[in-house]
Amino acid sequence: MAVQSTAAWIDQVIKQEEIDKYLINGKDFIDEGKILKNLEEGHNPDPVKIREILQKSLAIERLDPEETAALIHVKDPDLWEEMYATGLEVKRKVYDNRIVFFAPLYCSNLCVNSCVYCGFRTDNTREKRRILNMDEVQDETRAVVSEGHKRMIVVFGEHPLSDADYMADAIKNIYKVKVPARSGYGEIRRVNVNAAPMSIGDLKKLWEAGIGTYQVFQETYHKETYARVHPAGLKANYRWRLYALHRAMDAGIDDVAAGALFGLYDWKFEVMGLLYHAMDLEQQFGIGPHTISFPRMTPASGSWLTTHSPWKVDDDTFKKLVTILRLSVPYTGLIITARERAELRREVIKVGCTQTDASTKIGIGGYTEALKVLNNVQQGDQDEDAQQFILGDTRRLDDVVRELAEMDMITSFCTAGYRCGRTGDKIMGLLKSCTEGKFCKLNAVLTFKEYLEDYASPETKAVGEKLLEKELAEIRSIPFFKRGKLLENFENYYQRISTGERDVYI
């Protein structure tokens, strides 16, 4: 596309009225003075007060900013151990012991932005640019499905060639793909999207195409830092991005996902920013984000900042900030990704994460390219100049599923809630009452059984079957499942999957 038409596209994307409608008295919900005051007053918290805050989290109530600031300033190692344990207890209470899996699919690295931490930025001449056509989107999907995935998050650069119409076509083509498995076929049952902020009109196109969750990361909530690391392009407009999830809600997309890129600014400020973001969504729409992500900056092609930022977060601090997020918004899902090393993912999952990815490729066309080299997925094979950043964990899905089963955590590929209408305010109410997790437990077992039958290696199947025996015994002993015909229906569905039927859910 010609430079002039690209410039014209940029001029027409941002609609100021779709920012102003969400402001309160002309101001946005990030009040830096208030956040800094919260953090200052949170110093030296009383251990008795901290334990009271933990009880509030266990009651599945969102914390106030002052309470979150107090958690941020805890220094006592023994108290931190209590917080880690409480984080896992909260997660199990709301979500049980399941971990939901997904795979990212990068469709395009064309981008009009100049984000200094990103390999996709427009002025990075080292980046190998590519946009997938719809045949290639289907080829990539087949490769992902052949691993056993049922959920996908599709990622796009911000560019006129990958606009809302292109995204909608990609979503529709992903849903078309069916791949033979040991029994029946595999498919993607839920397509989520990580994309640039859009207008309400464009977001409606994605809703009509069958989008699941719409994910936009603010990157940093600190306005001076935001301006410095986003010097040009559409992304330079802080408020257009800040209210992307608000516009999605107005467009009918009732599952939205927030996040920040840790390492751009002080992690304490970003945690508070995420909390205030959740609070404003709750205030204006009655529900907060379905998930929160907390990626750390990793090396990116041609980016000095990604290796020299003074705000980089070490492993110990990372585990703490994830714990604080779990305690602050106890009913919201938390996503830990393959950016992180395998050993750290294991640790952080234990403090309350609910979703993760595996078999991840983030180069454009990366899944089909991997098949060409016999699935050689060692980290050394990553091409820094062909992807957005460097991954920390490139293991196959089967390996990660087996590891989690050995940790007594069940892998879930469930998409039932979305197809049964348990989204938005409906699912949030069920999560807060600790009810949704019970349905999810049943559906997790059903989808895990599917995976073991259709895709698992013999080693993973052996470990998984032992875990299923424990899960089945637990389900049969819990009074909730004996209400009405819930347990009877579950047992029937489990048997049907065992004999080859697929995609049955509660």
The pLDDT score that the predictor gives to residue 390 is: 74
On whether both 297 and 345 belong to a single domain, the answer is yes
What DSSP letter does each residue of 213-275 carry, written as one string?
Answer: -EE---B---HHHHHHH--SSGGG-HHHHHTHHHHHHHTT---EEEEB-BTSS-HHHHHHHHH
Q: Does residue 377 have a pLDDT over 60?
A: no
Please list, in sequence order, all residues whose beta carbon lies within 8 angstroms of the beta carbon of residue 294, skipping any fewer than 6 positions away.
259, 260, 262, 274, 318, 321, 322, 325, 334, 335, 336
Looking at the fold, whether 380 and 440 belong to one and the same domain comes out as no
3-state secondary structure of 211: coil
| Within a domain: 38 | no
At residue 367, does pLDDT exceed 50? yes
Assessment of whether the complete model's pTM goes beyond 0.85: yes
- Asked if the model's pLDDT at residue 2 lies above 80, the reply is no
Angle at 361 between CA 346 and CA 225, to 5 degrees: 75
Residues 414 and 490 in one domain: no
Give a yes or no: residue 506 inside a domain: no
Verify that 179 and 244 share a domain, yes or no.
yes
For residue 63, what pLDDT is reported? 98
CATH number at residue 396: 3.20.20.70
pLDDT for res 5:
67
Say if residue 346 is in the same domain as residue 491. no
Dihedral of CA atoms 256, 262, 265, 270 in degrees, nearest 10, equals 40
The 10s digit of each residue's pLDDT in 274-306 is: 999 999 999 999 999 999 999 999 887 778 898
Q: Does residue 81 lie within any of the structural domains?
A: no
Looking at residues 436-464, what average pLDDT do you find?
95
Q: Check whether 385 has a pLDDT greater than 60.
A: no
Please give the C-alpha separations between residue 281 and each of 22, 248, 287, 312, 417, in angstroms, as whole numbers.
Answer: 10, 11, 6, 28, 21
Shared domain check, 348 and 457: no
> Does residue 363 surpass a pLDDT of 80?
yes
Based on the domain organization, do 225 and 338 belong to the same domain? yes
Residues 6 or more apart from 77 whose CB is under 8 A from it? none
- State how far the Cα of 413 lies from the Cα of 446, in Å rounded to an integer: 9
Does residue 40 sit within a domain? no
Judged by DSSP in three states, 97 sits in: coil
pLDDT recorded at residue 422: 67
Residues 463, 344 share a domain: no
Confidence at residue 18, expressed as pLDDT on a 0 to 100 scale: 97
Is the pLDDT at 336 greater than 50? The verdict is: yes
Cα–chain center distance at 61: 21
Residues 169 and 212 in one domain: yes
Label residue 475 by pLDDT band (50, 70, 90): very high
Q: Is the residue at 72 inside a domain? A: no
- pLDDT the model gives residue 379: 42
Boundary of a domain, candidates 428, 443, 466: 428
Domain membership flag for residue 140 = yes
Instruction: Identify the band that residue 362 occupies on the pLDDT scale cut at 50, 70 and 90.
Output: confident
Q: What is the mean pLDDT of residues 130-137?
A: 97
Using the CB atoms, write b or e for 466-488: b if 16+ within 10 Å: ebbeebeeebeeeeebeeeebbe
pLDDT in tens, 78-132: 999 999 999 999 999 999 999 999 999 999 999 999 999 988 888 888 888 899 9
Identify the domain containing residue 473 by its residue range. Answer: 432-498
Residue closest to 247 by CA, chosen among 198, 292, 294: 198
Q: Are residues 183 and 291 in the same domain?
A: yes
Domain count, the chain: 2
Model confidence pLDDT, tens digit, residues 187-246: 999 999 999 999 999 999 999 999 999 999 999 999 999 999 999 999 999 999 999 999
Average pLDDT of the chain? 92
Say if residue 380 is in the same domain as residue 471: no
Identify the domain boundary among 394, 428, 462: 428
Confidence of residue 8 (pLDDT cuts 50, 70, 90): confident
Q: Is the pLDDT of residue 169 over 90?
A: yes
CA distance 382 to 361: 9
Please check whether residue 165 lies inside any domain of the structure.
Answer: yes
Please report whether residue 443 resides in a domain.
Answer: yes
Please tell me the distance from the alpha carbon of residue 293 to that of residue 302, in angstroms, as a whole number: 25
Checking if the pLDDT of 380 tops 50, the result is no
Residue 314 and residue 178 share a domain: yes
Residue finishing a domain among 406, 428, 450: 428
